Chain A
Amino acid sequence: AQKITQTQPGMFVQEKEAVTLDCTYDTSDPSYGLFWYKQPSSGEMIFLIYQGSYDQQNATEGRYSLNFQKARKSANLVISASQLGDSAMYFCAMREGWVDSNYQLIWGAGTKLIIKP
């Protein structure tokens, strides 16, 4: 079974609109962490935001926020006021177990986001 599922292969969004990128995960471990990375057309992987399974509040980093719904096992990335520079591939990834015992990340297949002017 897929551990990380990103159901939107591609999305078109008008500039300045908010966009939500979906990510669902599957784990039986009570301790885990969820990451979002951005990959622009230039190819580098850029860390955006992190949510720990025991974090009480949803993570926010500037225009990025994470809509974490633990019972539904979803960790959607929300980008507010989208910009042309947000056009990129976006990947959701999960680390299972305590952070000190497991460094490995499991990755989703990604969502290609295109911002229209």
Chain B
Amino acid sequence: NAGVTQTPKFQVLKTGQSMTLQCAQDMNHEYMSWYRQDPGMGLRLIHYSVGAGITDQGEVPNGYNVSRSTTEDFPLRLLSAAPSQTSVYFCASSYRGGRIYEQYFGPGTRLTVT
């Protein structure tokens, strides 16, 4: 199993550009989520999905869109990049079963918006 994969690892955008961060998992996990990590702060939830076709907003959804057409993929779209979106983005997935539903994380995407 590759686990949770994210592409790209690094990206530099100009203000106003759009792009899609890719996330895929091969563990057949129902739950997937996107977080951003900023210095001095914990992870903040952007969007999440509890299954294909179902998405919902987290704590900081503005400026981001998601879709979940398959169980495996959960892309995050930046509509019009702003410097405030400079951050490290993590995708995570979780198996709906067992006792604790711990989240498995991808390696992260470091995004800089100039």
Binding site for B on A (CB under 8 A): 4, 33, 35, 43-47, 50, 52, 91, 93, 95, 99-100, 103-110
Question: Which interface residue of B40, B43, B44 has the most chain A CB atoms within 10 A?
Answer: B43
CA–CA, A109 to B43, complex, Å? 8
Q: What are the residues of chain B within 8 A of A44 when measuring CB–CB? A: 105, 107-108
Is B27's beta carbon under 8 Å from chain A?
A: no
Q: How far in angstroms is the closest Cβ of chain B from A42?
A: 8
Is B42 a contact of A99 with CB atoms below 8 Å?
no
How many inter-chain residue pairs (CB < 8 Å) link A and B?
52
Is A50 a contact of B41 with CB atoms below 8 Å?
no
CA–CA, A33 to B99, complex, Å? 10
Is B101 a contact of A99 with CB atoms below 8 Å?
yes
Is B42 a contact of A103 with CB atoms below 8 Å?
no
Is B94's beta carbon under 8 Å from chain A?
A: yes
A52-B99, A99-B100, A103-B94 given as contacts; is B42 within 8 A of A91 (CB)?
Answer: yes
Q: What are the residues of chain A within 8 A of B107 when measuring CB–CB? A: 43-44
Is B62's beta carbon under 8 Å from chain A?
A: no
Q: What are the residues of chain B within 8 A of A108 when measuring CB–CB? A: 42
B31 to chain A: closest residue by CB? A103
Is A52 a contact of B42 with CB atoms below 8 Å?
no
Is B52's beta carbon under 8 Å from chain A?
A: no
Is B43 a contact of A107 with CB atoms below 8 Å?
yes
Is A4 a contact of B42 with CB atoms below 8 Å?
yes
Neighbour of A43 across the interface among B58, B88, B100, CB < 8 A: B88
Is B17's beta carbon under 8 Å from chain A?
A: no
Is B58 a contact of A50 with CB atoms below 8 Å?
no
Neighbour of B100 across the interface among A46, A52, A91, CB < 8 A: A52
A45-B90, A91-B43, A93-B42 given as contacts; is B100 within 8 A of A105 (CB)?
Answer: no
Q: How far in angstroms is the closest Cβ of chain B from A64?
A: 14
A52-B100, A99-B101 given as contacts; is B42 within 8 A of A104 (CB)?
Answer: no
Q: What are the residues of chain A within 8 A of B42 when measuring CB–CB? A: 4, 91, 93, 106-110
Is A47 a contact of B44 with CB atoms below 8 Å?
no
Is B103's beta carbon under 8 Å from chain A?
A: yes
